[in-house]
Amino acid sequence: MKKSRLISWTIPIFAIMGLCTSLAFSDTATDTPTITATPFVPLSNIGNALLGPVPVPRGGNLCLFPDKPISTVQWDVFNLYGEVAARFIVTALSSQPCWSTIGVPPGMYIVRLKLSYGDGTAGTAWQKVVVSR
Protein backbone atom coordinates (compact mmCIF):
# COMPACT_ATOMS: atom_id res chain seq x y z
CA MET A 1 0.00 0.00 0.00
CA LYS A 2 1.31 3.42 -0.91
CA LYS A 3 1.94 5.85 1.92
CA SER A 4 0.52 9.24 1.16
CA ARG A 5 0.02 12.45 3.05
CA LEU A 6 -3.54 13.31 3.97
CA ILE A 7 -4.35 16.85 4.99
CA SER A 8 -7.53 17.07 6.97
CA TRP A 9 -9.28 20.24 8.00
CA THR A 10 -12.62 21.52 9.09
CA ILE A 11 -14.39 24.70 8.03
CA PRO A 12 -17.21 25.93 10.27
CA ILE A 13 -20.41 26.75 8.42
CA PHE A 14 -20.00 30.45 9.18
CA ALA A 15 -16.63 30.38 7.39
CA ILE A 16 -18.39 29.42 4.18
CA MET A 17 -20.67 32.41 4.57
CA GLY A 18 -17.66 34.76 4.78
CA LEU A 19 -17.86 35.44 8.55
CA CYS A 20 -14.53 33.81 9.40
CA THR A 21 -11.06 35.01 8.37
CA SER A 22 -8.89 32.12 9.62
CA LEU A 23 -8.89 28.34 9.23
CA ALA A 24 -7.19 25.61 11.27
CA PHE A 25 -5.28 22.82 9.46
CA SER A 26 -3.73 19.61 10.75
CA ASP A 27 -1.17 17.53 8.88
CA THR A 28 -1.55 13.76 9.38
CA ALA A 29 0.24 10.92 7.53
CA THR A 30 -2.03 7.92 6.88
CA ASP A 31 -2.03 4.74 4.83
CA THR A 32 -4.42 5.22 1.93
CA PRO A 33 -5.09 2.94 -1.03
CA THR A 34 -4.00 4.09 -4.47
CA ILE A 35 -6.97 5.44 -6.38
CA THR A 36 -7.51 4.08 -9.88
CA ALA A 37 -9.58 5.79 -12.52
CA THR A 38 -13.07 4.35 -12.81
CA PRO A 39 -15.00 5.37 -15.89
CA PHE A 40 -18.15 7.29 -15.09
CA VAL A 41 -21.10 6.53 -17.30
CA PRO A 42 -24.43 7.93 -16.07
CA LEU A 43 -27.02 5.19 -15.54
CA SER A 44 -30.67 5.35 -16.60
CA ASN A 45 -32.00 4.30 -13.16
CA ILE A 46 -35.26 3.01 -14.69
CA GLY A 47 -34.35 -0.65 -15.17
CA ASN A 48 -33.41 -0.62 -18.86
CA ALA A 49 -30.88 1.04 -21.16
CA LEU A 50 -31.91 4.33 -22.80
CA LEU A 51 -30.61 6.52 -25.61
CA GLY A 52 -30.86 10.28 -25.46
CA PRO A 53 -31.56 12.93 -26.29
CA VAL A 54 -34.44 11.98 -28.57
CA PRO A 55 -34.87 13.65 -30.93
CA VAL A 56 -31.16 14.20 -31.42
CA PRO A 57 -30.26 17.30 -33.43
CA ARG A 58 -28.51 16.67 -36.75
CA GLY A 59 -24.78 16.75 -36.03
CA GLY A 60 -25.38 16.06 -32.31
CA ASN A 61 -24.51 13.06 -30.15
CA LEU A 62 -26.95 10.32 -29.21
CA CYS A 63 -25.67 8.86 -25.94
CA LEU A 64 -26.28 5.62 -24.09
CA PHE A 65 -27.55 5.60 -20.51
CA PRO A 66 -27.24 1.91 -19.48
CA ASP A 67 -29.22 0.34 -16.66
CA LYS A 68 -26.04 -0.93 -14.97
CA PRO A 69 -22.27 -0.62 -15.63
CA ILE A 70 -21.22 -2.02 -19.01
CA SER A 71 -17.93 -3.34 -20.37
CA THR A 72 -18.74 -3.29 -24.10
CA VAL A 73 -21.61 -2.26 -26.33
CA GLN A 74 -22.29 -2.91 -30.01
CA TRP A 75 -24.43 -0.31 -31.80
CA ASP A 76 -26.39 -1.34 -34.91
CA VAL A 77 -28.29 1.61 -36.41
CA PHE A 78 -30.87 0.84 -39.11
CA ASN A 79 -32.86 3.20 -41.32
CA LEU A 80 -36.55 2.50 -41.94
CA TYR A 81 -35.69 0.30 -44.95
CA GLY A 82 -33.74 -2.00 -42.63
CA GLU A 83 -30.41 -0.94 -44.11
CA VAL A 84 -27.45 -0.51 -41.77
CA ALA A 85 -26.79 3.21 -41.32
CA ALA A 86 -24.02 2.72 -38.74
CA ARG A 87 -22.39 -0.16 -36.87
CA PHE A 88 -19.66 0.06 -34.27
CA ILE A 89 -18.44 -1.51 -31.04
CA VAL A 90 -17.28 0.45 -28.02
CA THR A 91 -14.94 -1.35 -25.61
CA ALA A 92 -12.77 -0.25 -22.70
CA LEU A 93 -15.27 2.46 -21.81
CA SER A 94 -13.55 5.59 -20.56
CA SER A 95 -16.56 7.84 -21.05
CA GLN A 96 -20.20 7.71 -22.03
CA PRO A 97 -20.67 5.88 -25.36
CA CYS A 98 -22.32 8.10 -27.99
CA TRP A 99 -23.15 8.02 -31.71
CA SER A 100 -22.25 11.18 -33.58
CA THR A 101 -24.93 12.10 -36.10
CA ILE A 102 -22.60 14.30 -38.17
CA GLY A 103 -23.42 13.58 -41.81
CA VAL A 104 -26.50 11.52 -40.92
CA PRO A 105 -29.66 12.54 -42.83
CA PRO A 106 -32.64 13.60 -40.71
CA GLY A 107 -35.19 10.85 -40.17
CA MET A 108 -36.22 7.95 -37.99
CA TYR A 109 -33.77 5.17 -37.11
CA ILE A 110 -33.94 1.93 -35.14
CA VAL A 111 -30.98 1.29 -32.83
CA ARG A 112 -30.07 -2.17 -31.52
CA LEU A 113 -27.65 -2.21 -28.59
CA LYS A 114 -25.89 -5.45 -27.67
CA LEU A 115 -24.70 -4.85 -24.13
CA SER A 116 -22.07 -6.76 -22.14
CA TYR A 117 -22.31 -5.81 -18.49
CA GLY A 118 -19.51 -5.57 -15.96
CA ASP A 119 -21.12 -8.33 -13.86
CA GLY A 120 -20.74 -10.85 -16.72
CA THR A 121 -24.33 -10.74 -17.99
CA ALA A 122 -25.47 -9.55 -21.42
CA GLY A 123 -28.56 -8.01 -22.92
CA THR A 124 -30.06 -6.44 -26.02
CA ALA A 125 -32.02 -3.21 -26.18
CA TRP A 126 -33.94 -1.66 -29.09
CA GLN A 127 -34.99 1.96 -29.41
CA LYS A 128 -36.50 4.19 -32.10
CA VAL A 129 -34.67 7.51 -32.44
CA VAL A 130 -35.19 10.59 -34.56
CA VAL A 131 -32.43 12.73 -36.06
CA SER A 132 -33.98 16.18 -36.45
CA ARG A 133 -33.19 18.88 -38.99
Handedness of CA 107, 112, 116, 118 (dihedral sign): positive
Residue 41 pLDDT grade (very low, low, confident, very high; cuts 50, 70, 90): confident
pLDDT confidence band for 92 (50 / 70 / 90): confident
**How many other CB atoms sit within 10 Å of the CB of residue 106?**
13
List Cβ neighbours of 15 (8 Å cut-off, separation of 6 or more).
Answer: 23
CATH 3.40.50.300 assigned to domain 50-132? The reply is no
Domain ranges of the chain: 50-132
Is pLDDT of 96 > 60? Answer: yes
Stronger pLDDT, 125 or 5, i.e. the higher one:
125
The answer to pTM > 0.75 is: no
Amino acid at 12: P
